[in-house]
Structure 1
Amino acid sequence: MAVPPNTDAAFLREVDEELRRDQMVGAWKRYGRIAVAALVLALAAFGGWLIYQNQRQAAAGVEGELLSKTFDDLAAKKVDAAAKPLADLAKSDGPGYSAVARFTQADLLLQKDDTAGAAKIFAAITADQKVAQPFRDLALVRQTSAEFDTLKPQVVIDRLRGLAVKDNPWFGSAGELVAAAYVKSGQRDKAAALFSQIAKGDDVPDTIKQRAVQMSGLLGVDAPEKTGDQAEEKKAK
């Protein structure tokens, strides 16, 4: 005798599936429009970000070409032709191009002996949070160098003390200014010790090393080993 199908189980499955469909339809009616709106907004935001990135890249390319042409004008001593492009680049949203343009503007002012104007620009770079820290530190060194004759020695020491240490990329330049401030304030022992450290620095430019060797000798400290340029001269002889 054949066993009749379990119609109760089949019926329950159909009811369960129908209930799930009703729940999904209800959820779509309730939340579907919100989900679609959120998706549209997300896609719009992503598309806007892509457009913004493309515009930034295009602007960076234009600014790069402009900066290159400006440097060509400066190399050809066409300072007047370079003035406006530098002013435009100094206002750039790109912190790199802006910093380079402002450094260049300050250097041009120094060539005109306008140390106050140059120091003002260096100070603005130092305070610009968008500029990378190494360049802000360099701007502080350049600012201090421009203002050195008008500053009290202790101001120079306090301002650059954190940079006048080994392994800092600006150790040579900052250390030389701090050591000079020590001399100016009568702290010859500290000046001699710092000049000696600079003269022995592995990553210090040879021109700064040479001056440090000379100053060490003047302050009564035994000169360290010869700098790179001096060693080459000795070999040549």
Structure 2
Amino acid sequence: MADIFREIDEDVRRDKALEFWKNHGSKLIAVAFVAVAATGGWRAYQSYEAQRAEAAGARFETAIEKSRAGDTDEAEQEFAAIAKDSTAGYQRLARFRQAAEQAKQSPADGAKTYDALAADTSVAPILRDLARLRAAMLLADTASLDELRTRLQPLLAAGNAWGANARELLGLASLKAGDYDAAGKAFDEIVTDRNAPPSLKQRADLLLGIVRSGPIKPAS
């Protein structure tokens, strides 16, 4: 008797399955095709991106070799080309290297490229701040102390990764301008900054000694 009920139950399930297939079979096939196509397309995209990244890496390495060999113009041109038509990561790296190559011949031109990076909201904030710092470093010998302060002010906020470097640059510029009070304040803030690198603290401590000694008086 149990076998009869089991056979009936199996027949009912089979009939329900057939009915479901008649009503939804074409939809299931379509979904399966879409899934297969999507998987294949994603793998093709991954392969394409891997090839692009590999090619970009090779181009970037070639540009670096040109830079090391002293071919500044060619290196700059190659970095500029990578910055226009490469993968996002290499584009940003190339723009930084392009600015560095430009700065070898014209600090002002290099600073302009760094300024463009600092103003680009698609670039990560920490990299934008780095670009702002490097631009100020390139202009340190020609810009006024007030201009440097304006450029570096955004980096002086608490917790900024480049804050100590910005204070060192301001301290040196203030020392050069004869503003010993401003220089001492900048170097002292570095020494007391828990997050400042040890090597930077050591330099700031040495510079504080110069500040405390005061201006060098001319020999009588």
- SS of equivalent to 1:220: helix
Summarize deviations over 1:79-137 as a string: whole Å, max 9, x none: 2332432122112443332222111211222222251x323322333344554544333
Q: TM-score, normalised by structure 1?
A: 0.68
**Counterpart check, 1:19 vs 2:12:** yes
**Counterpart check, 1:101 vs 2:94:** yes
Query: How has the CA–CA distance of structure 1 residues 133 and 11 changed in structure 2, closer, same or farther, with 3 Å as cutoff?
Result: same
Query: In structure 1, what residue type is equivalent to 2:157?
Result: G
Q: TM-score, normalised by structure 2?
A: 0.73
**Alpha-carbon separation, structure 2, partners of 1:45 and 1:221:** 72
Aligned CA-pair RMSD: 3.6
**Alpha-carbon separation, structure 1, partners of 2:152 and 2:80:** 33
Query: In structure 2, what residue type is equivalent to 1:156?
Result: R
Summarize deviations over 1:159-204 as a string: whole Å, max 9, x none: 21137x5xx6534422223445777999865642331343577625
Judge conservation of contact 1:196–1:221 (CA < 8 Å) in 2: no
Judge conservation of contact 1:106–1:121 (CA < 8 Å) in 2: yes
Q: Work out which of the residue numbers 64, 71, 80 in structure 1 matches 2:64.
A: 71
Question: Which one has a bigger Cα radius of gyration?
Answer: 1
Specify every segment of 5 or more residues in structure 2 that has no aligned partner in the other structure, as ranges.
Answer: 215-220
Query: How has the CA–CA distance of structure 1 residues 79 and 153 changed in structure 2, closer, same or farther, with 3 Å as cutoff?
Result: closer
**Counterpart check, 1:195 vs 2:190:** no
Aligned-pair identity (%):
30
State the shift of 1:58 in Å: 1.7
State the shift of 1:220 in Å: 2.3
State the shift of 1:51 in Å: 1.6
Query: How has the CA–CA distance of structure 1 residues 40 and 125 changed in structure 2, closer, same or farther, with 3 Å as cutoff?
Result: farther
- Alignment size in residue pairs: 209
Judge conservation of contact 2:52–2:87 (CA < 8 Å) in 1: no
